Amino acid sequence: MSIYSRIRPLAFRLPAETAHELGKGLLRTAQSTRPTKAGLAAVYQYENPTLEIERFGTRFPNPVGVAAGFDKNAEVTHALSALGFGFVEIGTVTPYPQQGNRRPRLFRLREDEAMVNRMGFNGYGMDHVKEQLQRDGLPPVPIGVNVGKMNTSSQREAIEDYRRVFDRLSPFADYVVVNVSCPNTPEEFDESSPEHLREIFETLEDENERDVPILVKIGPDSPTESVLELVDIVEGLGVDGIVATNTTTERDGLESPNREEWGGLSGAPLEDRSTEVIRTIAGHTDLPIVGVGGVDSAESAYEKIRAGASLVQLYTGFVYNGPATAREINRGLVELLTRDGFRSVEEAIGADLE
């Protein structure tokens, strides 16, 4: 029995956000001294050349990353790297500090291995995040920066929000994600309209002296034609990749009483839908895809890779499976790749598309 399976029932008695803060506090403590950080790495890191992959001009030690929202303020990037994740996406970062929605705003759906959140872009803002990154230094794995707008911003102000956060934090980033798919922020206008996307990406390209790869994160709830339209638009705008997907507003087939809570659903019930979106996009374009939604095992990560994802990310699966999550997924991935005769992750990407 792992330590986490003993601790989890206790942690799950706490309100979900309190448990998350406690967990992050432990990770922050663990990364604060060299011996504790090295201790974490000794137990949890798993290295294997089969798992290495290069995308966006960056080398990833393995394809299993932490999804946006877990480390919004870049407080535990070193601990997450020591736990064996191959990359960490921080944020969503907004230009100024923002409270987000009223608590409670994060709910476990235990029977469904899922969560519902309506955090609403809470965070300390870009200046705090910049200081944090400067103070801690960058971790040894690639960092993605997920950028967002203030909840109160108009369409015009939103462009300026993205520009400011990009300007401030892209120097630290191996890639930047424009998040136009959050279901929990007020919708004053259509964030994914072609005109708005064009304005965002043209503005960011003007700022992009270092040529940092820029990706867009999409939701799982649009019909296939709309997804493909969006992909065509962003590809035409020179975007470097797609993160698919964000959380869903669907609630089909859930058992937990917390299914009644409003917000975005993540975890196991999202898995098939997000893989379907990945498959659809991969069948339509060669843009690299970061697959996210319900990854909680080697099998679920492998399925997304075979459907066309170059990299995968997770949040909810980490909460349910604990600190050994990345190690176990990576170990299992090597076994699955070997079983199927692939010499590297690269060879397995999109294997199910033919």
- Interface contacts to ligand FMN, rule CB under 6 A: 67-69, 72, 91-92, 106, 115, 117, 119, 146, 179, 217, 246-247, 266-267, 270, 292-295, 314-317
Q: Minimum CB separation from ligand FMN for residue 137, in Å?
A: 23
The answer to whether the annotation marks 326 as part of a ligand binding site is: no
The first and second tokens of residue 81, run together, are 């790297």
How far is residue 277's CA from residue 218's CA, in Å, rounded to a whole number?
10
Which ranges constitute the DSSP H helices of 170-307? 194-207, 224-236, 271-282, 298-306
Buried b (16+ CB within 10 A) or exposed e, 24-46: beebeebbeeeeebeebbeebbb
Known catalytic membership, residue 182: yes
Nearer to ligand FMN, 45 or 101 (CB): 101
Q: Taking the complex as a whole, how short is the minimal distance between the CB of residue 181 and ligand FMN, in angstroms?
A: 7
Q: Give the DSSP H or E segment for 314.
A: strand 311-314
Is residue 242 within 8 A of residue 218, CB to CB? The reply is yes
What letter represents residue 154's amino acid? S
> In this complex, which beta carbon is closest to ligand FMN, that of residue 19 or of residue 336?
19
For residues 227 and 295, which CB has a smaller minimum distance to ligand FMN in the complex? 295
Q: Judged by CB, which is closer to ligand FMN: 304, or 306? A: 304
Q: What is the smallest separation between the CB atom of 309 and ligand FMN, expressed in angstroms?
A: 12
CB 118 to ligand FMN: min, Å:
9
Distances from the Cα of 18 to the Cα of 12, 13, 65, 113, 134, angstroms: 10, 10, 23, 18, 27
Cα separation, 63 vs 250, whole angstroms: 28
Task: State which residue has the least CB distance to ligand FMN.
Answer: 69
Measured from the CB atom, is 179 or 275 closer to ligand FMN?
Answer: 179
Is the CB of 114 or the CB of 237 nearer to ligand FMN?
Answer: 114
Binding residue per annotation — 343? Answer: no
| Smallest separation (angstroms) from ligand FMN to the CB of 39 | 26
**40 contacts 126 by C-beta, under 8 angstroms:** no
Residue pair 212/176 in contact by the 8 Å Cβ criterion: yes
> Does 122 belong to an annotated binding site?
no
Amino acid identity for residue 323 in this structure: P
Q: Does 71 belong to an annotated binding site? A: yes
Q: Is 285 annotated as a binding residue?
A: no
Q: Rounded to whole angstroms, what are the CA distances from 57 to 60, 214, 219, 237?
A: 10, 12, 26, 19
Q: How far is the CB of 268 from ligand FMN (least distance, A)?
A: 8
**What are the backbone dihedrals phi and psi of residue 80, each rounded to the nearest 5 degrees, phi first?**
-65, -35
Q: Taking a C-beta distance cutoff of 8 angstroms, is the pair 67, 315 a contact?
A: yes
Binding site annotation covers 152?
no
Tokens of 346: 């690269």
Choose, from 27, 177, 182, 329, the residue flagged as catalytic. Answer: 182
**148 marked ligand binding residue:** no
Q: Is 62 annotated as contributing to ligand binding?
A: no
CB 129 within 8 A of CB 96: no
Which residues are annotated as part of the binding site for FMN? 68-72, 92, 146, 179, 217, 245, 267, 294, 315-316
Which residues are annotated as part of the binding site for substrate? 72, 117-121, 179, 184, 246-247
List the catalytic residues: 182
